[in-house]
Chain A
Amino acid sequence: NAGVTQTPKFRVLKTGQSMTLLCAQDMNHEYMYWYRQDPGMGLRLIHYSVGEGTTAKGEVPDGYNVSRLKKQNFLLGLESAAPSQTSVYFCASSYPESFLDTEAFFGQGTRLTVV
């Protein structure tokens, strides 16, 4: 029962480097989300997707890009990492509301440090 799996779990980047965070879900969920969590800030939505091939901006999209080429995967990219992107990143997925009112299921998080 994998649920939502994030890769990697930890990463240290130098300023200006790029990386991709991978989120994979095996629950056939339509909707997927990327959040970042900073101390005292709760969870802030970066980007989300309502289906394969679609993406949309959340509250804090600047400096990030996303892709949803396959329904089960949602990738978050940082093209040129900055220290302000040091955070814990969470991926989540859920059913569409037309099917079932349900909660979002979360991955275990990726702790990213940009030095």
Chain B
Amino acid sequence: EDKVVQSPLSLVVHEGDTVTLNCSYEVTNFRSLLWYKQEKKAPTFLFMLTSSGIEKKSGRLSSILDKKELFSILNITATQTGDSAIYLCAVGTSGTYKYIFGTGTRLKVLA
């Protein structure tokens, strides 16, 4: 059975801290790994990773994939209160292009 596991489930930090969110997966026909940020409504896309070892970066956020160990991390540096959200990891599978989501990590950044 395909599975995506995120850790930690929740996290509370102070502004300026650096956080690392984890996503591990066990799926057949891996195609891509995606990170989304969900505030109040629809998830919004952050990154898509398909190759091991290549870091994707957008401002204070970065992510990397390890296809050998089957995990990805999402780093957020110098956190701000606006980073408070649920961060979702999803794996896209080849063949039938399904996205399997993890349970998410709820991040709260305190001022």
B residues touching A (Cβ–Cβ < 8 Å)?
Answer: 6, 9, 31-32, 34, 36, 41-45, 48, 50, 88, 90, 92, 94, 96-104
- Find out whether the CB atom of A42 lies under 8 angstroms from the CB atom of B88: yes
A residues touching B (Cβ–Cβ < 8 Å)?
Answer: 31, 33, 35, 40-45, 48, 50, 56, 58, 90, 92, 94, 96-97, 101-109
Residues of B within 8 A of A109 (CB): 41-42
Residues of A within 8 A of B92 (CB): 97, 101
Partner of A56 from B9, B96, B101, B102 at Cβ < 8 Å:
B96
Bound CA span A105–B99, Å? 11
Residues of B within 8 A of A33 (CB): 98-99
Bound CA span A108–B38, Å? 11
Bound CA span A94–B6, Å? 23
- Find out whether the CB atom of A97 lies under 8 angstroms from the CB atom of B94: yes
Residues of A within 8 A of B9 (CB): 40
- Find out whether the CB atom of A35 lies under 8 angstroms from the CB atom of B97: no
Q: Which residue of B lies closest to A59 (CB)?
A: B100
User: For B31, B36, B48, B97, which residue has the most chain A Cβ atoms within 10 angstroms?
Assistant: B97
Bound CA span A109–B50, Å? 28
Q: Which residue of B lies closest to A35 (CB)?
A: B101
Partner of A101 from B43, B48, B98 at Cβ < 8 Å:
B48
- Find out whether the CB atom of B100 lies under 8 angstroms from the CB atom of A96: no
Q: Which residue of B lies closest to A98 (CB)?
A: B97
Partner of A40 from B43, B97, B101, B103 at Cβ < 8 Å:
B103
- Find out whether the CB atom of A104 lies under 8 angstroms from the CB atom of B99: yes
Bound CA span A109–B39, Å? 12
Q: How far is the CB of A92 from chain B (nearest CB, A)?
A: 7
Q: State whether A58 and B43 are in contact (beta carbons under 8 Å apart), knowing that A97-B31, A101-B48, A102-B48 are contacts in the complex.
A: no
Partner of A94 from B41, B42, B88, B97 at Cβ < 8 Å:
B97
Q: How far is the CB of B9 from chain A (nearest CB, A)?
A: 7
Partner of A96 from B34, B43, B97, B103 at Cβ < 8 Å:
B97
Bound CA span A35–B96, Å? 16
Q: State whether A45 and B99 are in contact (beta carbons under 8 Å apart), knowing that A40-B9, A109-B41, A109-B42 are contacts in the complex.
A: yes
